[in-house]
Chain A
Amino acid sequence: MSEAAAIAAPARARVRSGAWLAPAMIVLCSLAAYCVAAAATHQTGQISVDGFVGLIQRTVALGIVALGQTLAILVGSIDLSVATLVSVGAVMASWMMQGQPDMMVPASLFVLALSALVGVANGLIVTQLRVNPLIATLGVGLVLQGILSASFQDFAGSVPKEFQIFAYGTVGPVTLSILLMFALALVEWLALSRTRFGAHVYATGGNPEGARLAGIKTARVVVLAHMLCSLAAGLTGLYLASRLRSGAPWVGRDGVYDLESIAVVVIGGTVLAGGKGGVWGTMSGVILFGCLDAIFTMAGVDAFIKQVLRGAIVVAAVAAYAYRTKGHVA
């Protein structure tokens, strides 16, 4: 185990030093651009506590999914099944609750357990069957979406009023769901930077052979990362069910959480190959996406042009990190 720690040490150091700078810059620039856009379009009402809370609220669903995706990517894997799992979580929650408050806890626990199971399945297919993670999670996503859409055609059931506190409840001016997202980010950051699990995650993603030689059970780390990633997606499903009062089999797909979560993770500086990056980068990517959307809306940019710009920004942002990479990238 000491060897493992030795391998992980440089990774940990890399996380600490300067890891704050790029994310902080991204957040500051995004918020500055947001304020400028609000002022330029005479919508100064948006530069207020309520305005910022509204801005962050829009990013909560993507944010929680992306926190999970960060783990999957850090261990050198990826998860394309998250969007489907969001739908599964939302539908199963509202279908099981059927508006009854006493079903809130069992339904939520069931959704989380199911998500964890899917995550473990993803992890096992990747590690034991050695299927490329893109295909493995794409396949699992297709299977889940197929069964879900064949079983439910519309909003299924509903959540009780009490459950909506999850999405709409507030503490002072801030909503509970925003606090939850930041709390999760904090926990994940602590876990990644202060625990052995975190060290193993970086080691597994950065140099799987070395990590294995150093005694790290890399397969177990990958499965665990996938499980946590899926849990985050399931939790997002619960959040959406709470926010929409019900779940439908298309809520995840319509949110494009699979591709957008990958995009914000890499915009935040996490390397697609794994082993490098972290939570605050991802959160900064999420805030950048939120600000962009708000700016486009304020400026009245047409939905199609918005899509062109979004694609260009993803490529440009990743290029800004990647162009100094040595060697070839495929």
Chain B
Amino acid sequence: MTAIGSAARFAPVRLLGRIHPSYAALLVLLIAIAFLTPNFLSPLGVMAFLRRGASLAIVSVGQLFVLSMGGFDLSVGSLITLAVMGSALMINNDPALTWHAIALVYLMGIGSGLFLGLVVSYLKVPSIIASLGALLSIKGVALAWSGGSPQGYLPDNFRQFGRVTYHDVPIIQVLPMSVVVLAVFVAICAWLFHGTTFGRLALIVGDNPRAADLAGVRVRLVRIVGFLVSAVSAVTAGILLGGFAGPAQDVGDGFELQAIAANVLGGTQLLGGRGSVAGVVAGSLTLTALFTVLNLIGLPKPLRDAVQGGILIAAVAYSVRRQGWEK
């Protein structure tokens, strides 16, 4: 497949055609939730659902930038934990420090993303190993810094992003601030991925890095930016999670795999070359809806994990089949 061919495939219409199974699954799950919880189909219910899924959606969209280039970023869960624990440590209930702390955790995230990008591009360490190392190290830093247990408190002006809900909004009645953050973040990423040269280059790099190199694409730079977006998404999700429920030492655990799963459900091709922001958002909401349904019907956590495993395999197997048909 040539670079040009791959770019041309991403016409919006074909895009919609490509991601519909995830939308269908989401629809079925949402109907199931509506049956199980009577007040779900109200603005209140929908907004509560979006708020619940906001952090996963944000990290998943970030992960898309790395997956679409053929890499993996396993460090996002640890980065979420570091953002939450680090903020609580630095702010320690002094509202005046909130903005400094937010700036600092974003800097840490950028540092980590930059580091990963450099290690992968220049030291040629496969991103799955590099980010696995980062997963261990960053979690270790968060725990060593705090002594293994949350220290300090988050004041209201930090927690507002995850916690505050605007009332008496026209039409939708209520609007959680985390849903606003989600919308803004997704809009920026959608523009970056689908509306800029960078987004097109990202897919080309994922499709065939050698060809991209020969065509004069600055593969390393593109890759580094991908890791940066992923890291920034993790910090953003961390701020929402810390805001919603306060600091905890295991807040980010498991997000890396869920983000990859959401991408798989949303039609992102592992090892690069294909993906869309809309698909990933749908995929992540599908996962959130799935967890909600499994929880509502009272399935214990181990079996929820088992179902998730089965669905993952099925989703990838299905997308492989579909590619086969299209060829």
* Contacting residues, chain B, for A322 (C-beta < 8 A): 123-126
Measured CA separation A263–B70 after assembly (Å): 20
Query: Does the CB pair A131–B126 fall under 8 Å?
Result: no
Counting CB contacts under 8 A, is B88 at the interface? no
Stretch at the interface among A5-13, A176-184, A299-307: A299-307
Query: Does the CB pair B130–A325 fall under 8 Å?
Result: no
Measured CA separation A262–B128 after assembly (Å): 10
A129-B316, A129-B317, A315-B134 known; 9 new pairs, CB 8 Å cut-off, are: A132-B271, A139-B310, A303-B148, A304-B144, A310-B136, A311-B136, A319-B125, A325-B124, A329-B127
Query: Does the CB pair B309–A139 fall under 8 Å?
Result: yes
Q: What is the minimal beta-carbon distance from A146 to any residue of chain B, in angstroms?
A: 3
Query: Does the CB pair A308–B137 fall under 8 Å?
Result: yes
Counting CB contacts under 8 A, is B132 at the interface? yes
17 contacts between A and B (CB under 8 A): A129-B313, A131-B316, A134-B72, A136-B316, A138-B257, A139-B309, A142-B305, A146-B305, A146-B306, A147-B302, A259-B132, A263-B132, A307-B143, A308-B141, A318-B130, A322-B126, A328-B213
Query: Does the CB pair B126–A272 fall under 8 Å?
Result: yes
Chain B residues 267 to 323 lying within 8 A of chain A, measured CB to CB, are 270-272, 300-310, 312-313, 316-317, 320
Query: Does the CB pair A135–B137 fall under 8 Å?
Result: no
Query: Does the CB pair B129–A132 fall under 8 Å?
Result: no
Chain A residues 106 to 127 lying within 8 A of chain B, measured CB to CB, are 125
Counting CB contacts under 8 A, is B190 at the interface? no
Q: What is the minimal beta-carbon distance from B251 to any residue of chain A, in angstroms?
A: 16
Counting CB contacts under 8 A, is B209 at the interface? yes
Query: Does the CB pair B302–A135 fall under 8 Å?
Result: no
Return the chain A residue nearest B319 by Cβ. Answer: A131
Query: Does the CB pair A315–B144 fall under 8 Å?
Result: no
Query: Does the CB pair B125–A315 fall under 8 Å?
Result: yes
Query: Does the CB pair B312–A139 fall under 8 Å?
Result: yes
Counting CB contacts under 8 A, is B119 at the interface? yes
Measured CA separation A305–B133 after assembly (Å): 13
Counting CB contacts under 8 A, is A266 at the interface? yes
- Of B122, B129, B148, which is within 8 A of A314 by CB? B129
Counting CB contacts under 8 A, is A42 at the interface? no
* Contacting residues, chain A, for B312 (C-beta < 8 A): 135, 138-139, 142
Q: Which of B143, B264, B313, B317 has the most CB of A within 10 A?
A: B313
Return the chain B residue nearest A307 by Cβ. Answer: B140
Chain A to chain B: the 10 pairs with minimum beta-carbon distance, closest first:
A146-B306, A142-B309, A311-B136, A311-B137, A307-B140, A149-B302, A308-B140, A330-B70, A315-B133, A304-B144
Measured CA separation A89–B15 after assembly (Å): 45
- Of A131, A305, A318, which is within 8 A of B313 by CB? A131
Inter-chain contact total with CB atoms closer than 8 Å: 169
Query: Does the CB pair B306–A304 fall under 8 Å?
Result: no
Counting CB contacts under 8 A, is B9 at the interface? no
Number of residues in B with C-beta < 8 Å to the partner? 59
Q: What is the minimal beta-carbon distance from A154 to any residue of chain B, in angstroms?
A: 13
Chain B residues 128 to 155 lying within 8 A of chain A, measured CB to CB, are 128-130, 132-141, 143-144, 148
* Contacting residues, chain B, for A330 (C-beta < 8 A): 69-71, 120, 126-127, 206, 209, 223, 271-272
Counting CB contacts under 8 A, is A312 at the interface? yes
Counting CB contacts under 8 A, is B29 at the interface? no
* Contacting residues, chain A, for B313 (C-beta < 8 A): 125, 129, 131, 135-136, 139-140
* Contacting residues, chain A, for B143 (C-beta < 8 A): 304, 307
Main secondary structure of the interface of B (DSSP, over half): helix
Query: Does the CB pair A314–B136 fall under 8 Å?
Result: yes
Measured CA separation A272–B209 after assembly (Å): 18
Q: What is the minimal beta-carbon distance from B159 to any residue of chain A, in angstroms?
A: 26
Counting CB contacts under 8 A, is A242 at the interface? no
Known interface pairs A130-B317, A135-B264; A318-B129 also in contact (CB < 8 Å): yes
Chain B residues 188 to 219 lying within 8 A of chain A, measured CB to CB, are 205-206, 209-210, 213, 219
Measured CA separation A325–B223 after assembly (Å): 17
Counting CB contacts under 8 A, is A18 at the interface? no
* Contacting residues, chain B, for A130 (C-beta < 8 A): 317, 320
* Contacting residues, chain B, for A302 (C-beta < 8 A): 144
Q: Interface 1/0s, chain B 99-132, versus A by CB < 8 A?
A: 0000000000000000000011111111111101
* Contacting residues, chain B, for A312 (C-beta < 8 A): 133, 137
* Contacting residues, chain A, for B119 (C-beta < 8 A): 315, 319
Query: Does the CB pair B125–A306 fall under 8 Å?
Result: no
Measured CA separation A59–B216 after assembly (Å): 47
* Contacting residues, chain A, for B130 (C-beta < 8 A): 315, 318
* Contacting residues, chain B, for A259 (C-beta < 8 A): 132
Counting CB contacts under 8 A, is A1 at the interface? no
Return the chain A residue nearest B213 by Cβ. Answer: A328
* Contacting residues, chain A, for B260 (C-beta < 8 A): 135
Return the chain A residue nearest B269 by Cβ. Answer: A132
* Contacting residues, chain B, for A141 (C-beta < 8 A): 309
Counting CB contacts under 8 A, is A145 at the interface? yes
Measured CA separation A20–B82 after assembly (Å): 41
* Contacting residues, chain A, for B137 (C-beta < 8 A): 307-312
* Contacting residues, chain B, for A149 (C-beta < 8 A): 301-302, 305
Q: Which of A146, A305, A319 has the most CB of B within 10 A?
A: A146
* Contacting residues, chain A, for B129 (C-beta < 8 A): 262-263, 266, 272, 314-315, 318
* Contacting residues, chain A, for B304 (C-beta < 8 A): 146
Q: What is the minimal beta-carbon distance from B132 to any residue of chain A, in angstroms?
A: 6
Q: Interface 1/0s, chain B 220-258, versus A by CB < 8 A?
A: 100100000000000000000000000000000000010
Query: Does the CB pair A318–B209 fall under 8 Å?
Result: no
Measured CA separation A307–B132 after assembly (Å): 12
Q: What is the minimal beta-carbon distance from A33 to any residue of chain B, in angstroms?
A: 20
Measured CA separation A91–B148 after assembly (Å): 31
Query: Does the CB pair A145–B126 fall under 8 Å?
Result: no
Measured CA separation A324–B312 after assembly (Å): 35
* Contacting residues, chain B, for A327 (C-beta < 8 A): 209-210, 213
Query: Does the CB pair B316–A146 fall under 8 Å?
Result: no
* Contacting residues, chain B, for A324 (C-beta < 8 A): 124
